[in-house]
Structure 1
Amino acid sequence: MPTHSARMVLRWSMTMALAGVAALAMAGCDAAPGGGTDIPRQVTVVGTGEVQGVPDTLTTEAGIEFVAGDVTSAMNQTSERQQAVIDALVDAGVDRKDISTTQVSLQPQYGNPDASGSANITGYRAGNTIRVKVERDSASQVLAVIVRAGGDATRINGVSYSIEDDSALVRGARERAFNDAKDRAEQYAQLSGLRLGQVISISEIAGETPPTPVGMPMPRAMAAAPPVEPGQQTVSFTVTAVWELS
């Protein structure tokens, strides 16, 4: 039978054990679900910005085409005439680095098929195309030079305008896109009764309109410089930004 002292020790041990269990239970109630990590409050918005500029560079595809009875004649006539065009462009002030050959072609030409369905070769069509890049102000005169040097064999396969250095436009479009995103984020913060904090992340998508095409006929001859208008070109940006809310 336990003595009085033993009963006191046993009662004291049970009291301390119950207190420990209660403390653990209270600690468990204070812990947040999922490890106690708070979900950050943030807002993700998309902003867009556009700026326009006047193109300063014209690019044209100019071809020479001849049809002859044999391969050598077709190729020689085409090469000689295209070389005359290139020489005329250089004499007119076009830098050789702005002239590049983009296509050389040679195709047989067939006559009408006979009763058996076969057709004989009647000649050969040779072509040589160059790409020429010039400043906007000299575009009309350069086109006239091409046609005068190429004569009836000239083929103008269209022209397009572009902006040689669009870095200033890019900066402007990017700034507008970011400001647009920030305005949207601030509005969402006000609507939710919060304040806009620091930027968490920014990602962008650059968008630029392709060179402006200008339709051109395929002239046999052209005495005067053709009028061409550059119009405007748009540089755009789309920005996705994430702000913290506080």
Structure 2
Amino acid sequence: MPIAATTKPVRTRLLAAGAAAVTMLALAGCDSQSGPATGLTPDADTRQVTVVGAGQVQGTPDTLTINASMEFLAPDATTAMNQTNERQQAVIDELIGLGIDRTDIATTEANLQPQFGPEDNTITAYRATNSINVKIRNLDQASDAIGLIVETGGNATRINSISYSIEDDSQLVRDARARAFEDAEDRAEQYAELAGMSLGKVISISEAAGTTPPIPMPVPRGAMEAAVPLEPGQQTVGFSVTVIWELS
């Protein structure tokens, strides 16, 4: 009989613990369904519309960048490098004399490569290259600058590319962004009207820039007697925006 007296309290404690566990699981189940407490996350039954708007504006480029190289081939590395460096330095000096600011001239490459024979794979010469980017802020100087580079560099000149750009496109970006949002809002209002509802508050906005990159234009190598014809054309700054609105 002492054994039966001891067993009853143990069973009572086990039942109490089981009830507590059930209570905790029930509470946990409630918490798991509460969801994140954020003001921008709509409820499951919130009606909404998601649209993508696009906006573009055009501007006239005001800056021209020239990438120009001097290249020499010589029997030894020292001669190839010296000839290339001397010719490029002469080009830089002439550009500064033309009125180009030294800070707008930047070296982009200094390269020396051995040249191998076609049969015995031995070094027959060395090719040295020195490249610079030249930013022309006064577009009236662009053709003269190209002609000067070719004239000073001679047959060692390699005009790799020229590209137009807009130095400060901040206002164009603002205008393109505004047009994109207005386009999205117009679309959303139309969908709301078609659904017999009205447009509510904005839930979220996300955007993607779509600036058209400068297009490099090659220029023929060698000496030139005629000026290089250059036209800046137009460049496009665009944005794509995705907006979600509530519907009511």
TM-score w.r.t. structure 1 length?
A: 0.80
Is 1:124–2:126 an aligned residue pair? yes
Radius of gyration: which is bigger?
A: 1
Residue 216 of structure 2 aligns to a residue whose secondary structure is strand
Residue 55 of structure 1 aligns to a residue whose secondary structure is coil
Is 1:200–2:203 an aligned residue pair? yes
**2:159–2:218 contact (8 Å) kept in structure 1:** no
Q: CA deviation at 1:152?
A: 1.3
User: Aligned residue for 1:5?
Assistant: none
**1:57–1:162 contact (8 Å) kept in structure 2:** yes
Distance in 1, Cα, partners of 2:158 & 2:172 = 34
Match of 1:237 among 217, 229, 239: 239
Distance in 1, Cα, partners of 2:237 & 2:85 = 39
What is the percent sequence identity of the aligned residues? Answer: 63
**1:148–1:223 contact (8 Å) kept in structure 2:** no
User: Aligned residue for 2:66?
Assistant: 60
Q: CA deviation at 1:141?
A: 1.2
Letter in structure 2 aligned against 1:93: G
User: Aligned residue for 2:116?
Assistant: 110
Q: CA deviation at 1:38?
A: 6.7
Residue 226 of structure 1 aligns to a residue whose secondary structure is coil
Distance in 2, Cα, partners of 1:82 & 1:225 = 21
User: Aligned residue for 2:80?
Assistant: 74
Question: How big is each residue's C-alpha offset from its partner over 1:85-107, in whole Å with a ceiling of 9 and x where there is no partner?
Answer: 00011111111111111111111
**1:56–1:162 contact (8 Å) kept in structure 2:** yes
> Structure 1 residues 112, 204: closer, same or farther in 2, change over 3 A?
closer
Letter in structure 2 aligned against 1:229: E
Match of 1:44 among 50, 58, 68: 50
Is 1:166–2:163 an aligned residue pair? no
- Of residues 172-181 and 134-143 in structure 1, the stretch that sits farther from structure 2 once superposed is 134-143
Distance in 1, Cα, partners of 2:44 & 2:236 = 44
Question: How big is each residue's C-alpha offset from its partner over 1:147-185, in whole Å with a ceiling of 9 and x where there is no partner?
Answer: 111111110001111111111111111111001000000
Distance in 2, Cα, partners of 1:238 & 1:59 = 28
- Of residues 132-141 and 166-175 in structure 1, the stretch that sits farther from structure 2 once superposed is 132-141
Letter in structure 1 aligned against 2:121: A
User: Aligned residue for 1:144?
Assistant: 147
Is 1:100–2:100 an aligned residue pair? no
Distance in 1, Cα, partners of 2:62 & 2:197 = 47
User: Deviation above 6 Å: which 4+ runs of structure 1?
Assistant: none
Residue 53 of structure 2 aligns to a residue whose secondary structure is strand
Contiguous gaps of at least 5 residues in structure 2: 1-32, 35-42
Residue 83 of structure 1 aligns to a residue whose secondary structure is helix
**2:53–2:181 contact (8 Å) kept in structure 1:** yes
Distance in 2, Cα, partners of 1:44 & 1:112 = 63
User: Aligned residue for 2:181?
Assistant: 178
Distance in 2, Cα, partners of 1:191 & 1:120 = 77
**1:212–1:230 contact (8 Å) kept in structure 2:** no
Distance in 2, Cα, partners of 1:58 & 1:38 = 54
**2:104–2:135 contact (8 Å) kept in structure 1:** yes
Distance in 1, Cα, partners of 2:154 & 2:127 = 17
Match of 1:90 among 48, 72, 96: 96
Alignment RMSD (CA, Å): 1.6
| Count of residue pairs brought into register by the alignment | 207
